[in-house]
Chain A
Amino acid sequence: MFDVKRECKVCGKIYYTCPASSSPAKTFRWRDVACCPEHGQIYLQQIMESRKVDSVTPEPNA
């Protein structure tokens, strides 16, 4: 089995995972970003929050 070394985006721990070259669309694969499902959930929440902020359009002259 071919595993790659990754760093958990939540706790920084090094972990090994099989790379998914073609995950189904709109699927969140926690192994791509985190060492465990719990940290994957935390990271996904952070991403969703940050993108909500990104998508806010400021009012003119605000």
Chain B
Amino acid sequence: MINVADLAITSLDVISAYNLDGTPAFVLDELQDATISNTEEKEEVTGRGGRRLSSLKKNKGVTVSGTNGLVSAGLLETQVGDDFVQANDAAVKWIDYLTVKNNAATTEWIAAGTAGAEIEALYVRGADGTAGTQMTQASAVASGKFTYNPTTKALAFNENELEDGTEIIVYYTRKLAAHVLTNDSTNYSRKLRLYIDGSAEDKCGNIYHVQFLIPKADFNGEFDLELGDTQAVHSFEAESLAGSVCGSGAASGALWTYTVFGVDAADYTGG
């Protein structure tokens, strides 16, 4: 029998999430931290002079929160309540900064859109570096007008209108194969089953594996993705719900279970 009285949790290894029907949802294996926060309301029962006689306890609650070092696609899907879709013609906005040579330039990618209006905007960069004169796409070159052929990605300008070396800024939409997740205003964050795995060590240096099971974790749809010059981490928060646990193996009233086993624990073969 192992001694689990006092353990030092030495590492947080992985959080694996499953849909309530048991199918895998995602795995967070670059965790920076995780917290299992336990709450309980306690109301004092008082007697003469306000002295405490007992207490009424109710409303236990558990909140799981944490931070993953990488932005997780599965966690995003859970938080926004939608799935990534693989699209062959996802539209993305693109800006090219090009240099004119011989009255021509070439876009980096194919501009998509209505024939003859693929280029959404084209500016000639001014001497001060700002976007200056705007030119418009047309069927033939003329003063202030240019042509574009999406097959060759060629932009053509009126003869000698733009000197060689003139910089232009070209705005267009690309269509490409991509994975797209939509944060739809009518869809909400999901409920999942969570397993939090860690390693532990007792006073004698024996190594154990610990696993928390949160049978039904109701994820919070409020989260931040901070983008900038520091690492973008993915934080999450979920509240454990009691009640039906849909075959998780935990008791129906369980907010979480805590399982400790030796790293070399033998498998049960009793059937």
The residues of A with any CB-CB pair to B shorter than 8 Å are: 7, 9, 20-23, 25, 27-29, 32-33, 43-44, 46-51, 54-55
Tell whether, in the assembled complex, residue A33 and residue B149 are in contact, meaning their CB atoms are under 8 Å apart: no
Contacts of B140 in A (CB 8 A): 46, 50
Option from A23, A43, A44 in Cβ contact (under 8 Å) with B113: A23
Q: How far is the CB of A26 from chain B (nearest CB, A)?
A: 9
Tell whether, in the assembled complex, residue A29 and residue B139 are in contact, meaning their CB atoms are under 8 Å apart: no
Q: Contacts A21-B91, A33-B114 hold; do A54 and B152 have CB atoms under 8 A apart?
A: yes
Q: Contacts A27-B114, A33-B116 hold; do A47 and B91 have CB atoms under 8 A apart?
A: no
Option from B91, B154, B173 in Cβ contact (under 8 Å) with A54: B154
Tell whether, in the assembled complex, residue B91 and residue A22 are in contact, meaning their CB atoms are under 8 Å apart: yes
Tell whether, in the assembled complex, residue B154 and residue A47 are in contact, meaning their CB atoms are under 8 Å apart: no
Contacts of B137 in A (CB 8 A): 9
Tell whether, in the assembled complex, residue A32 and residue B149 are in contact, meaning their CB atoms are under 8 Å apart: no
A9 to B138, CA, bound (A): 7
B158 within 8 A of A: no
A46 to B89, CA, bound (A): 27
Q: How far is the CB of A48 from chain B (nearest CB, A)?
A: 8
A20 to B113, CA, bound (A): 9
A13 to B227, CA, bound (A): 43
A7 to B214, CA, bound (A): 60
Contacts of A29 in B (CB 8 A): 114
B112 within 8 A of A: yes
Q: Digitize B224-254: 1 where CB-to-A-CB distance is under 8 Å, 0 elsewhere.
A: 0000000000000000000000000000000
Q: Digitize B194-232: 1 where CB-to-A-CB distance is under 8 Å, 0 elsewhere.
A: 000000000000000000000000000000000000000
The residues of B with any CB-CB pair to A shorter than 8 Å are: 89, 91, 112-117, 136-140, 147, 149, 151-152, 154, 173, 175
Contacts of A51 in B (CB 8 A): 149, 151
A23 to B117, CA, bound (A): 12
A-B contact pairs, 29 of them (CB 8 A): A7-B136, A9-B116, A9-B117, A9-B137, A21-B91, A21-B173, A22-B91, A23-B113, A25-B89, A27-B114, A29-B114, A32-B113, A33-B114, A33-B117, A43-B116, A43-B139, A46-B116, A46-B139, A46-B140, A47-B116, A48-B115, A50-B140, A50-B147, A51-B151, A54-B147, A54-B151, A54-B152, A55-B151, A55-B152
A19 to B, closest residue via Cβ = B120
Top-5 shortest CB links A-B: A46-B139, A47-B116, A32-B114, A32-B117, A29-B114
A23 to B89, CA, bound (A): 11
Contacts of B152 in A (CB 8 A): 54-55
Contacts of B116 in A (CB 8 A): 9, 33, 43-44, 46-47
A50 to B117, CA, bound (A): 14
Contacts of B136 in A (CB 8 A): 7, 9
Q: How far is the CB of A6 from chain B (nearest CB, A)?
A: 9
Tell whether, in the assembled complex, residue B114 and residue A28 are in contact, meaning their CB atoms are under 8 Å apart: yes
Contacts of A49 in B (CB 8 A): 139
Contacts of A54 in B (CB 8 A): 147, 149, 151-152, 154
